[in-house]
Amino acid sequence: MKVSLIIPVLNEGERLRGVLSRLREAKRETPTEVIVVDGKSSDNSLSVAKDLADKVLVAQRSCRAVQLHHGALVATGDVLLFLHADTVLPDRWQEVLVDAWRRTPAPAATAFRLSFDRKETAYRVVEWATGLRLRFTGVPHGDQAIAVARDVYFTVGGFPDVPLMEEYFLIHKLRCYGRVQILPERVATSARRYEKNGPLWNAFRNSLLVTLFYLKVPVHVLARMYR
């Protein structure tokens, strides 16, 4: 089994260096390839990626869904793991991931549990709320490192060209292929997006966006609200 890690980036030079260096230094217990898809960064993201990734692409525009799909088109792995540039995989990610995908029946998708790189109580509350939301929606968010079998990904059409919540569209299309398995290990994602208005406010906003999504509010309207 081969795993393709697909990382969309936009002006993530220094953070990307740490993520890619960690992946390169880890013992590769299973065949892997690391694909970085740049969204026309204005910093050194592209040069960092060329130094440390196996494949580097430049997307037509900065849109995470477009970048993820662009990476999937050139991936050669049996499993596609979509990884945010500000998310660190757990030490045992290869062992846990491969074990899940070698089981019969295979899952429709996998994702890791969520944790943040900050230890304040508020972030523990957000982690708990994320787990609660997942129970109701069955949809892990992109910073949980979602993985999908390559053949199934293309059978369902992959990520659509949307400005936000691309994982909800993908997981909805995957439901007929089985369940989404949440793996026991935790990723550590950056808390930077929660720092401006605080973790609890941002968690409330995200929950509101999810609710409005299920109420059929157009995704382009949700994207404006998010930004």
More confident residue, 20 or 27: 20
What is the spatial distance between Cα 25 and Cα 42, in angstroms, rounded to a whole number?
Answer: 27
Domain 3-190 fold: Spore Coat Polysaccharide Biosynthesis Protein SpsA; Chain A (3.90.550)
Residue 195 confidence (pLDDT): 83
101: tokens are 């995908």
User: Which of 34-43, 139-148, 186-195 has the weakest average pLDDT?
Assistant: 186-195
Q: Is residue 13 within a helix (H) or strand (E), and if so which, with residue range?
A: helix 13-25
- Does residue 27 surpass a pLDDT of 80? no
151, 76 Cβ separation under 8 angstroms: no
| Lowest mean pLDDT, pick from 27-31, 161-165, 167-171 | 27-31
Confidence of residue 117 (pLDDT cuts 50, 70, 90): very high
pLDDT bucket at 28, cuts 50 / 70 / 90: confident
- For residues 144 and 192, give the distance between their C-alpha atoms in angstroms, rounded to a whole number: 16
Nearest residue to 180 via CA among 123, 107, 115? 107
The 10s digit of each residue's pLDDT in 44-86 is 999 999 999 999 999 989 999 999 999 999 999 999 999 999 9
Q: Residue ranges per domain, the chain?
A: 3-190
Query: Is 69 in contact with 159 (CB distance < 8 Å)?
Result: yes
Mean pLDDT of the chain: 94
Which residues, in sequence order, are CB contacts of 227 under 8 Å at separation 6+? none
pLDDT at residue 197 above 90?
no
